[in-house]
């Protein structure tokens, strides 16, 4: 019998004569750890599958008295400018120092416009104050810098971001009137990338020094621009060119303490098999990049996802949308979170002895960590808490072993394959 007060889950299961919530099974050939591959240890102790909520949905309660149930989310943060002291802090361009950029609506230069015209010293002085304001205590949390106006790799600033290229070239031509366009472009590229690197790298260093218990990184990094899903032969793969460009950003991966890629899905991908291909390849590229600094100590990855398909990046919440979101979370999203979390916990115990996480043997397969619907049922009670009824069978656990393997946490001391016959207790506490 398990009652998780924080998560409001009530687990009714195969309770034995002593009331122990566990399945004691004989399981053969249990792989404990695969030495060649590692994962970052849990950011929050004993939470191997962490869910975060980073949306301004507090407006639903404030404006329409619609109280969303966020008890299943370990980290919660609103992107609103007035929000401070949160588990997830999102730093937009106007909230962290003097980020040089060109206003996309007015076309005016802000803080110098292009990074080589920005003032790094003043930026860091202001950023120090902003960090102290938005993250008032150094507890634990995520610090996500959302700078999207320009990209640090010159070649990735295609329309409409090519204005940064044009201004950079014009600046060089003003300083060196004797240069032709080709010569000026070469210098402009080097100047732009050097200055962009300084702003991004030094901002990360500052954040880590001031709030070391937060994990710091940039939203949308890494990206691999695999958006060509309108092509009939689309397979979701990240091109070799974009992987190479990500390799040029090794200085970001080495300075970051977390990665924050995005898997937002447009409506064109609704009910499309391309959606899974799009997501898997983006996450797989993030896993590759996470190992740049150290294969044995990879960066943790927090994937940004939306619970809906949408083509609109900014959409204000109405009373109807709040009510629809509340119903969706109660009846679809939260039960699914419980399903995946318990399945992952079960698999981690069986294959990893809780010293790692279960990973697909074939990363691009349709194998998922789900509870067997024939053996488990998740229900929402009138009290607002969820009940989980059922127990795993030996076949369920063997299915995990067929489809998944264990990737050890980076801090596990003894990393080896161990095949042994033993009594295995699967605990859900």
Query: Do strands 356-360 and 2-4 pair parallel, antiparallel, or not at all (unpaired)?
Result: unpaired
Residue 218, SS3 per DSSP: strand
Q: For residues 196 and 190, give the distance between their C-alpha atoms in angstroms, rounded to a whole number.
A: 10
Q: Count of alpha carbons within 13 Å of 258, Cβ hemisphere only? A: 25
Strand 356-360 to 88-91 pairing: unpaired
Asked if 120 and 193 touch (Cβ cutoff 8 Å), the reply is no
Half-sphere exposure in the Cβ direction for 96 (13 Å, CA): 21
- In whole angstroms, what is the distance from residue 176 CA to residue 87 CA? 49
Long-range Cβ contacts of 240-248 (<8 Å, 24+ apart):
243/285, 243/288, 245/153, 245/155, 245/156, 246/222, 246/285, 246/289, 247/292, 248/153
Q: Would you please indicate which residues are annotated as catalytic (active-site) residues?
A: 148
State whether residue 333 is helix, strand or coil.
helix
The Cβ-side half-sphere exposure at 390, using a 13 Å CA radius, reads 18
């Amino acid at each position: 019998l398990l009652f998780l007060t924080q998560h409001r889950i009530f687990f009714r299961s195969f309770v034995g004569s002593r009331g122990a919530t566990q399945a004691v099974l004989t399981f053969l050939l249990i792989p404990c750890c695969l030495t060649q591959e590692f994962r970052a240890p849990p950011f929050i102790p004993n939470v191997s599958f962490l869910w975060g909520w980073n949306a301004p949905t507090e407006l639903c309660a404030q404006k329409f008295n619609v109280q969303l149930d966020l008890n299943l989310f370990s980290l919660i943060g609103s992107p609103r400018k007035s929000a401070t002291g949160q588990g997830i802090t999102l730093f937009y361009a106007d909230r962290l120092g003097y980020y040089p950029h060109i206003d996309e609506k007015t076309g005016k230069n802000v803080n110098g416009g292009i990074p080589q015209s920005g003032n790094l010293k003043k930026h860091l002085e202001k950023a120090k104050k902003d960090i102290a304001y938005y993250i008032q205590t150094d507890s634990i949390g995520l610090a996500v810098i959302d700078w999207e106006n320009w990209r640090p790799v010159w070649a990735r600033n295609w329309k409409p971001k090519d204005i940064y290229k044009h201004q950079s070239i014009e600046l060089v031509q003003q300083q060196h009137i004797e240069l032709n366009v080709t010569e000026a472009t070469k210098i402009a590229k080097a100047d732009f990338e050097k200055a962009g690197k300084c702003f991004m790298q030094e901002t990360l260093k500052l954040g880590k020094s001031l709030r070391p218990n937060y994990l710091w990184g940039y939203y949308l990094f890494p990206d691999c621009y695999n958006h060509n899903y309108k092509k009939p032969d689309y397979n979701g793969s990240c091109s070799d060119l974009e992987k190479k460009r990500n390799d040029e950003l090794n200085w970001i991966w080495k300075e970051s303490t977390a990665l924050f890629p995005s898997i937002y899905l447009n409506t064109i991908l609704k009910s499309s098999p391309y959606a899974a291909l799009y997501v898997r390849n983006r996450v797989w590229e993030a896993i590759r990049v996470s190992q740049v600094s150290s294969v044995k100590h990879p960066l943790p990855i927090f994937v940004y996802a939306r619970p809906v398909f949408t083509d609109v990046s900014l959409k204000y919440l109405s009373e109807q949308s709040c009510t629809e979101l509340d119903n969706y979370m109660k009846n679809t999203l939260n039960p699914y979170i419980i399903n995946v979390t318990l399945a992952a916990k079960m698999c981690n115990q069986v294959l990893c002895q809780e010293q790692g996480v279960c990973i697909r043997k074939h990363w691009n397969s349709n194998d998922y960590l789900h509870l067997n619907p024939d053996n488990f049922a998740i229900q929402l009670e009138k009290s607002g808490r969820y009940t989980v009824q059922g127990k795993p069978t030996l076949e369920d656990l063997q299915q995990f072993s067929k489809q998944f393997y264990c990737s050890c946490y980076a801090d596990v001391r003894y990393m080896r394959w161990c095949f042994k016959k033993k009594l295995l207790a699967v605990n859900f506490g």
